[in-house]
Copies of this chain bind each other. A is one copy, B any other.
Amino acid sequence: MQTELSKRLGVEHAIFGFTPFPAVAAAISRAGGFGVLGAVRYTAPDDLKRDLDWVEAHVDGKPYGLDVVMPAKKVEGVSEADVEAMIPDGHRQFVQDTLAKYGVPELAEGEASGWRITGWMEQVARGQLDVAFDYPIKLLANALGSPPADVVARAHEQNALVAALAGSARHAVKHKEGGIDIVVAQGYEAGGHTGEIASMVLTPEVVDAVDPLPVLAAGGIGSGQQAAAALALGAQGVWLGSLWLTCTEADVSSPAVTRKLLAAGSGDTVRSRALTGKPARQLRTEWTDAWDDPAGPGTLPMPLQGLLVAEALTRIQKYEVEPLLGTPVGQIVGRMTSERSVQAVFDDLTRGFEEAVDRINRIAGRSGT
């Protein structure tokens, strides 16, 4: 599975894997794909340094990348305390009432919430980049909007390509104008923050809109057949996020989350603002139902919602409160029915791709294959 872009990056298969887990990122690159480590959960630069050291040591010299969450709009001089102060009491009460209803225990004194707003702030993302550019990363991806011009320039100086996620052709064109090299067209069915246009429609629309920039198709891909479909739509590769969550190398927050992922069908996700304040696809749970219920107070805008629920989510995860326990994941979760190694997933992807190519050639009446 070779495209111009995979050749340019020196990887065997045009399969890109986003993952928050260093062991998964390294395994994807070792298997002949391109592993991209998600940085948003690293609030302390030293933790990122430690994990990049680990990736560097386990990647067998293969290329890999980093994904940061750098908001397009800069918020200057605003502290976490300022943001805290903007959260209405009624919303705080709703969090407490919901946790109480399910008997979710408190954290021990001094125990920190695992997730902080700060990972979403430009200062923090810049700190991550200061660390990351000490490593030979070959791709820098940005989740929210185009990265600032100086960041693009710095990446290019370091011989890294820059990618940005887009859920519409309009956003993709903005990214192109911002000087980036690759657009990740992320469809409605994807896990995480996502728009309303499905991959079948979005991929070719973005390909045409940013031509000649290469496009990676993201959203709903979990088999070689789906990879073949995305490539038929004009993508230069596929970008998968959900599928790795049930890999043996993944370090998901709790075994209960893995159980829920393995059991979920394609209809068991919801695009909800409950997690961050922007629509993100995730497992549908009684927690997302509570936030999406018109009878409740509703969600707050980003970044307030994320800050509001951070401690609650840590408690729900720590105590494995199953009805409330969720994770971002896409509709492909219906196909994630067993725990497998990254290598086994890769073998399956490449075999399925070849089968799809055979099939398409038969349908086209072409025999010389």
Contact = CB atoms under 8 A, between A and B. Distances in A.
A231 B359 CA distance: 8
A224 B368 CA distance: 21
A310 interface: no
Contact of A359 (B197, B225, B232, B356): B232
B364 A205 contact: no
Given A197-B266, A199-B198, A200-B187, A334 B205 contact: yes
What bracket does the count of chain A residues touching chain B fall in? 35 or more
Contacts of A335: 201, 204-205
Looking at A1, A200, A365, the one whose CB has the most chain B CB atoms below 10 A away is A200
B363 A360 contact: no
Nearest to A333: B201
A223 B322 CA distance: 44
Looking at A195, A204, A234, the one whose CB has the most chain B CB atoms below 10 A away is A204
Contacts of A265: 169
A363 B201 contact: no
B365 A368 contact: no
A91 to B, nearest CB: 18
A38 interface: no
A198 B225 contact: no
A196 interface: yes
A266 B201 contact: yes
A118 B331 CA distance: 36
A205 B335 CA distance: 8
Interface string A53-80: 0000000000000000000000000000
A347 interface: no
Interface in A135-170: 168-169
Interface string A340-369: 000000000000011011011101111011
Contacts of A294: 294
A293 to B, nearest CB: 12
A174 to B, nearest CB: 15
Given A363-B2, A364-B357, A200 B189 contact: yes
B168 A267 contact: yes
A3 interface: yes
Interface of A: 1-3, 14, 168-169, 187-189, 195-202, 204-205, 219-221, 223, 225-226, 228-234, 265-267, 294, 330-332, 334-335, 353-354, 356-357, 359-361, 363-366, 368-369
12 contacts: A14-B363, A187-B198, A188-B189, A188-B198, A197-B267, A198-B200, A198-B331, A205-B266, A229-B233, A231-B363, A232-B359, A353-B364
